[in-house]
Amino acid sequence: MSVSVRRIYEPPEPDDGLRVLVDRLWPRGLAKEAAHVDEWPKGLTPSTGLRQWYHAGEGSYDEFRRRYEAELDAPEAAELLDGLRKSAREGHVTLLTASKNPDGSHAHVLAELLGG
38: buried, middle or exposed (CB in 10 Å: 19+, 13-18, 0-12)? middle
> What is the reported pTM?
0.92
What is the band of 55 on the pLDDT scale with cuts at 50, 70, 90?
A: confident
Per the prediction, the chain carries an average pLDDT of 93
The pLDDT value given to residue 58: 79
Q: Report how far residue 70's alpha carbon sits from residue 75's, in angstroms, rounded to the nearest whole number.
A: 11
Residue 7 to residues 58, 78, 87, Cα–Cα distance (Å): 24, 24, 20
Q: Report how far residue 107's alpha carbon sits from residue 61's, in angstroms, rounded to the nearest whole number.
A: 12
pLDDT in tens, 4-46: 999 999 999 999 999 999 999 999 999 998 899 999 999 999 9
The pLDDT value given to residue 116: 58
Q: Report how far residue 23's alpha carbon sits from residue 25's, in angstroms, rounded to the nearest whole number.
A: 5
If phi over 0 gives left and psi between -120 and 50 gives alpha, with beta otherwise, what is residue 86?
alpha
| DSSP bridge partners of 20 | 39, 95
Average pLDDT over residues 93-114: 93
Q: Would you give the end-to-end CA distance of the chain in angstroms?
A: 7
- Closest to 17 in 3D by CA, of 88, 106, 85: 88
